[in-house]
Amino acid sequence: MKIYFHLSLEGFSNCYVVTNPETKTALIIDPGKITKEILEQIEIDRYSLEAVLITHNHESHLRGLSTIRKIYKPQIFAADYEVAGNDTQVLKGDGIIKAAGLTVGHMSVPGHTPDSMVYKIGKVLFTGDALSASMLGTTNNAYAEKMLLSNVHNKILTQHDDTIIMPGHGPPSSVAAEKLFNLSIALRPVTGL
C-alpha cells in the first residue's frame, strides 16, 4: 500500500490517494478537489480507481466527488446516504469492507458530525475532522463534544501507539503523539453521556 497526500486550498482539506501496487487498484479518501496531479497519479501508473471513502458529509471533503463520478465508476462508501444518493454504500457502526484489494476497517465516531467515520487501513487511521494533530474536532454542543471525546478515547486512542493518524486538516500525527501532546483531549476527561 502507498498513500499519497493532496491538499485542497479550498477549505484547506486533505485528500488521500491510497494505491495497491499488487492489484494496480486505488481508492480516494475525502476528495475535496480533484486536481490534474491526482488524475495523473491514477492514470500514468494505470491504476483502476475502485472506491471513494468519505469521512463525513462536509463540502470541503467531497467537492471533487462529482468530478470523479464523471470519469470513473468507483464504489462510494459513507455513513450519509446524501453523499451520492443511491450510489452510496451506507456504512453503519463499526465493521470491515474490502476496497481496492485492501481490507478497510470503518469506525463510527459521531460528534463532529452525526455521520463521522474513521477508516483504518493497515496501521493508518484516516480520521477526517474527528481528530487532527493536537486538536479534537469541533462540535455544535456539549453533548456532541462528550460523544466525540468518548469515541476518540475508545476507538482511536486504543489503537497501537505507532498507528499513524491522517486527518482531514493539518499534518499527520500518531496515536502516541496524540496521547502525549493533545491537550484538547487531556484537559477533557471522558465522562458519561
Residue 14, strand partner residues = 7
C-alpha cell at 188: 477533557
Mean pLDDT for the stretch of residues 30-49? 94
Whether 107 is in a domain gets the answer: yes
Asked whether residue 90 is domain-assigned, the answer is yes
DSSP string computed for 40-68: HHHHHTT-EEEEEE-SS--HHHHTTHHHH
Residue 191 lies in a domain: no
CB atoms within 10 A of CB 85: 8
Is residue 71 a part of any domain in this protein?
A: yes
Average pLDDT over the chain reads 93
8 A C-beta contact, residue 90 and residue 115: no
* 75-78 vs 88-90, strand pairing mode: parallel
Q: What is the pLDDT of residues 55-99, one digit of tens each?
A: 999 888 899 999 999 999 999 999 999 998 999 999 999 999 999
Number of domains forming the structure of the chain: 1
What pLDDT was estimated at residue 185? 81
pLDDT digits (tens, 9 = 90+) for 141-183: 989 999 999 999 999 999 999 999 999 999 999 999 999 998 8
In a domain? residue 75 = yes
Greatest pairwise CA separation for the chain in angstroms: 51
CATH number at residue 68: 3.60.15.10
- What pLDDT is stored for residue 187 in this prediction? 63
Is there a domain that residue 193 lies in?
Answer: no
Q: 54: domain range?
A: 2-186
With respect to residue 192, please indicate whether it lies within any of the assigned structural domains: no
Q: What is the value of pTM for the model shown? A: 0.93
| Cα–Cα dist 53/72, whole Å | 14
Question: Average pLDDT of 122-140?
Answer: 93
